[in-house]
């Protein structure tokens, strides 16, 4: 399996590299268009700021490359948000795979801190029993209310592409899927055995 990881001006990429290496895959970290188009699957991870990240991607033509990918793609954290249509962070136009606006948390109580940081529960929404979009196996073996790790100030509202939800201040999308694109707002690479299983499930989609 040839797994590509998108190289750009975002943090936390190396924790993803180490996580997939623990699963037996040595990824190709690249910002080269031809390489990303030729690999079997792509992870688009990171922590960062929407406007500067999109500027970096556009300068290198990576925004067009990512949108055009036909192999399985997993966006993580800012990777999820940049695959949406627009972000309130810096009033930024993003890539538009998921035509929804990323919003900033608006605390209403003194104990509601932003960024949201720490462990929280997710509820996978499986099409077979909740009438929601098919998660494509991303949550196989994951129990409802499993804990995963979040660090973010912006969120994707619940929408028709939501495949898992969580709640902090408001209910929001913990994960999305549309065609060959999967995303998680949480960090599977920092989420212990649950996150490891989610990454393994994504890799199984590549093999399949």
Task: List pLDDT tens digits, range 18-35.
Answer: 999 999 999 999 999 999
Has this prediction a pTM greater than 0.85? yes
CA angle 132, 121, 155 (to 5 degrees): 70
Q: Return the pLDDT at 126.
A: 58
pLDDT at 110: 65
Q: Residue 153: pLDDT above 70? A: yes
Residue 77 annotated in active site = yes
The mean pLDDT value of the chain amounts to 92
pLDDT category at 130 given cuts 50, 70, 90 is: very low
Q: pLDDT at position 131, please?
A: 47
Query: Which stretch of 20-24, 97-101, 107-111 has the lowest confidence by average pLDDT?
Result: 107-111
| Structure tokens, 67 | 């949108």
H or E segment to which residue 62 belongs: helix 62-67
Q: Are the C-beta atoms of 144 and 124 separated by less than 8 Å?
A: yes
For the segment 178-199, the average pLDDT, to the nearest whole number, is: 97
Q: Which of 86, 94, 189, 204 is catalytic?
A: 189
pLDDT band at residue 133, thresholds of 50, 70 and 90? low
The structural domains of the chain, ordered by start, are 3-207 (3.40.50.880)
- Looking at residues 184-200, what average pLDDT do you find? 97
Task: Check if 94 is active-site.
Answer: no
Catalytic site residue from 89, 116, 152, 187? 187
User: Could you say which of 77, 84, 94, 116 is catalytic?
Assistant: 77
Mean pLDDT check: name the lowest of 52-66, 83-97, 106-120, 156-170. Answer: 106-120
Average pLDDT, integer, range 69-88: 97
Residue 108 has pLDDT above 50, yes or no: yes
> Is 110 among the residues known to form the active site?
no
For 154-167, what is each residue's pLDDT tens digit? 999 999 999 999 99
Torsion angle of the four alpha carbons 197, 46, 60, 84, in this order, in degrees rounded to the nearest 10: 80
């Amino acid at each position: 399996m040839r797994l590509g990881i998108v190289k750009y001006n975002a943090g936390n990429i190396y924790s993803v590299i180490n996580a997939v290496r623990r699963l037996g895959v040595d990824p190709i970290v690249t910002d080269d268009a031809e390489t990303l188009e030729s690999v079997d699957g792509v992870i688009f991870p990171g922590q960062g700021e929407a406007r500067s990240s999109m500027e970096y991607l556009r300068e290198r033509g990576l925004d067009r490359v990512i949108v055009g990918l036909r192999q399985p793609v997993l966006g993580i954290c800012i990777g999820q948000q940049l695959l949406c249509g627009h972000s309130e962070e810096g009033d930024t136009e993003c890539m538009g795979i998921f035509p929804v606006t990323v919003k900033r948390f608006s605390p209403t109580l003194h104990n509601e801190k932003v960024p949201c940081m720490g462990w929280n529960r997710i509820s996978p929404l499986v099409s077979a029993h909740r009438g929601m979009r098919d998660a494509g196996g991303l949550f196989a073996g994951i129990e409802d209310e499993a804990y995963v790790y979040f660090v973010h100030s912006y969120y994707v509202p619940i929408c028709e592409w939501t495949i898992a939800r969580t709640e902090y201040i408001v209910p929001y999308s913990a994960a999305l899927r549309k065609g060959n694109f999967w995303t998680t707002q949480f960090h599977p690479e920092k989420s212990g055995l649950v996150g490891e299983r989610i990454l393994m499930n994504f890799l199984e989609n590549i093999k399949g």
